[in-house]
Amino acid sequence: MATAMSVSAVSPAAAAVARPRTLVCVPATARAPREMAAELAAAAALGADVAELRLDCLAGFAPRRDLPVILAEPRPLPALVTYRPKWEGGEYEGDEEPRFEALMLAMELGAEYVDIELKAAEKFMRLLAGKKPENCKLIVSSHNYENTPSAEELADLVAQIQATGADIVKIATTATEIVDVARMFQILVHCQEKQVPIIGLVMNERGFISRVLCPKYGAYLTFGSLEKGKESSPAQPTAADLINLYNIRQIGPDTKVFGIIGNPVGHSKSPILHNEAFRSVGFNAVYVPFLVDDLAKFLNTYSSPDFAGFSCTIPHKEAAVRCCDEVDPIARDIGAVNTMVRRPDGKLVGYNTDYVGAISAIEDGIRASQQTDPTTSPLAGRLFIVIGAGGAGKALAYGAKEKGARVVIANRTFARAQELANLIGGPALTLADLENYHPEEGMILANTTAIGMHPNVNETPLSKQALKSYAVVFDAVYTPKETRLLREAAECGATVVSGLEMFIRQAMGQFEHFTGMPVDNENFRAITSSLDSPNTMMPRL
Ligand code: NAP
């Protein structure tokens, strides 16, 4: 089998024989048997394929009394019965014998799947003595809560599990970094080639992509919780997100992978927007959040043509310039890349769509609220103060300068403010200076720091008193849509422009780079109309 770390060596398309689709399994973790049966019905209503009945979660569980209730026929979904002991991360603390007896009773009552841990499999098989019902599949599982072993060690583990007589192999490991997931993808492909049914998942936030992308590599099933707060494992997505947001039923070996690289990245609405946009034009692709610590390592690992493009956000936009094989001249001048596309020759090309997105949003915001000369930019000649000197700050400063504004940079780290100001040809300020900065009327303010971003919604980069000096205020933060900065600026009488408008416009540019198709403005805006709702579901991380 392939031993290299990079998934560039892994070709799911080559390995794909006609194969069954990856099932969506919802863990039922209720404390009472009737509630657990109700969870099974709720999982069926969500469109799941299987429900995992976690017997170890039941309070005062009495198998002969409770199992007939939970497994009563007709069952709305096939049942996977798990009775996880504490020593393998579950809640059961008793002896092994009664645990095994409960699992055997579940088989007798028609459970379609039973899970037994690798460490207990030999004893369990001895007790079972070949009496497993025909229609019941035995899953032999191994959970590693520390790390993800090497590809060789994972392959050995698969062989060990197969040797127990398992019908399905289950391996769950833990990611310490996102590149760990590549080794699990390799194992999935290896098993697919050998026609070994396998569930292979990598737990925690950095392993999140394993849960969404495993259908591409032929996994037997993936877990999705009934609702937020009912996860049976850290960073498990909801079944609804798997099915509706990530379109998991459509993910196959040829599906291209796109995503947003960031840290943090869980707040991003890009997956909601891009997945729906891809679906609306029938583009065979999925868009996921990539929680990345080391950008170069990530790009080296996920270097196959299947990983076809990336959005880039905090704090990787500047490093992205160095990691691309080619960089569009404007992105190079700005010094920040927010979009990376893999060309057919495998080269990564970097662009910046923030610049046009932000500047056009501010221009249109001013035009909508003030009388302006239609022949020039409403930014021309105005004093334009940018707070922040990171990727977004550079894009805004560059764009405002291009439009003829006089640009001032204010930043927490003054040296970085000076560096950008020198590049743009304007003055630099500290954040403290900005409080009393009022050289003229009609100034424009653009916040490009994360101050005020969810969950720190009570924070703001500038006092309300100081905001009285501004005619126009823009905030790049778009979760929430109305930040404290924008609310207070509006109360002071300024024209306000939301970061959501920039977000939509930069995403339109990305869509065109990713798909090679022209964006249909009306369709895109219709998709984004739900994004400013505070109830919009965020991808789980
Ligand atoms: P970045 O490159 O990491 O830059 C972050 C900037 O914010 C730096 O100037 C940093 O100052 C400053 N900063 C961070 N935390 C701060 C704090 N607590 N107090 C004061 N200053 C602080 O990030 P980025 O990619 O430019 O993104 C910045 C923000 O813009 C994020 O909230 C992002 O979500 C948002 N954004 C929105 C859109 C959109 O479409 N609406 C697009 C891009 C970005 P130092 O130099 O002192 O570290």
**Dist. CA 454 → ligand 1 center (Å):** 13
Candidate list 137, 216, 317, 401, residue with the active-site label: 317
Looking from the CA of residue 312, the nearest atom of ligand 1 is: 25
DSSP labels, 139-197 = EEEEE-SS----HHHHHHHHHHHHHTT-SEEEEEEE-SSTTHHHHHHHHHHHHHHTT--
Residue nearest ligand 1's atom 37 by CA: 476
- The per-residue pLDDT for 447 is 98
Please, which residues bridge with residue 258 across strands? 287, 309
Nearest CA, atom 22, ligand 1: 449
Residue nearest to atom 39 of ligand 1 (CA): 503
Q: Which residue minimizes the CA distance to atom 46 of ligand 1?
A: 413
Closest approach atom of ligand 1 to CA 394: 26
- Whose alpha carbon is nearest atom 12 of ligand 1? 449
Ligand 1 centre to CA of 392 (Å) is 7
Whether 190 is a known active-site residue: answer no
Report the pLDDT value the prediction gives residue 30, as an integer from 0 to 100.
97
Residue 418 in contact with residue 369, Cβ under 8 Å? no
Ligand 1, from 312, 449, 484, 501: best to mutate by most atoms within 8 Å of Cβ?
449
**Which of these is catalytic: 137, 170, 274, 316?**
170
Could you read off the pLDDT tens digit of each residue along the chain, which spans 541 residues?
A: 333 345 544 555 544 456 789 999 999 999 999 999 999 999 999 999 999 999 999 999 999 999 999 999 999 999 999 999 999 999 999 999 999 999 999 999 999 999 999 999 999 999 999 899 999 999 999 999 999 999 999 999 999 999 999 999 999 999 999 999 999 999 999 999 999 999 999 999 999 999 999 999 999 999 999 999 999 998 999 999 999 999 999 999 999 999 999 999 988 889 999 999 999 999 999 999 999 999 999 999 999 999 999 999 989 999 999 999 999 999 999 999 999 999 999 999 999 999 999 999 999 999 999 888 989 999 999 999 999 999 899 999 999 999 999 999 999 999 999 999 999 999 999 999 999 999 999 999 999 999 999 999 999 999 999 999 999 999 999 989 999 999 999 999 999 999 999 999 999 999 999 999 999 999 888 988 877 654 443 444 4
Q: What is the pLDDT of residue 217?
A: 97
Which residue's CA is the closest to the ligand 1 atom numbered 21? 412
66 noted as active-site residue: no
Catalytic residue among 306, 354, 475, 532: 354
- Measure 178 CA to ligand 1 centroid, in angstroms: 23
Ligand 1 centre distance from Cα of residue 336 (Å): 12
Q: What is the pLDDT of residue 533?
A: 57
Examine the residue annotation and report whether 513 is marked as an active-site residue of this protein: no
* Radius of gyration of the chain from its Cα atoms, rounded to whole angstroms: 27
Cα end-to-end distance, the chain, whole Å: 31
Atom 34 in ligand 1: residue holding the nearest Cα: 477
Atom of ligand 1 nearest to the CA of 393: 26
Q: Is 354 a catalytic residue?
A: yes
Is the peptide bond preceding residue 378 cis, with omega within 30 degrees of 0? Answer: no
Q: Which residue's CA is the closest to the ligand 1 atom numbered 5? A: 390
Residue 500 alpha carbon, nearest atom of ligand 1: 41
| Dist. CA 254–CA 200, nearest whole Å | 19
Atom of ligand 1 nearest to the CA of 453: 32
Provide the CB-side half-sphere exposure for 116 (13 A, CA): 31
Pocket test for ligand 1, best of 273, 448, 532 (most atoms within 8 A of CB): 448
Q: Which pLDDT score is estimated for 10?
A: 53
The Cα–Cα gap between 341 and 291 comes to 18
Cα of 246 vs its chain's centroid, Å:
10
Q: What order of strands is seen across the sheet that includes strand 50-54?
A: 198-203, 168-174, 137-143, 113-117, 79-82, 50-54, 23-28, 221-223
In this structure, which residue's CA is closest to atom 36 in ligand 1? 476
pLDDT recorded at residue 529: 81
Number of Cβ atoms within 10 Å of the Cβ of 341: 18
CA of 253 to the centre of ligand 1 (A): 36
**Three-state SS for 406?**
strand
How many whole angstroms from 416 Cα to the centroid of ligand 1?
12
Question: Residues with beta carbon inside 6 Å of ligand 1?
Answer: 313-315, 317, 354, 388-393, 411-413, 416, 448-451, 453, 476-478, 499, 502-503, 506
Report how far residue 115's alpha carbon sits from residue 90's, in angstroms, rounded to the nearest whole number.
12
pTM: 0.89
> What is the predicted pLDDT for the residue at 130?
87
Query: 315: CA distance to ligand 1 center in Å?
Result: 8
Q: Which of 143, 216, 267, 269 is catalytic?
A: 143
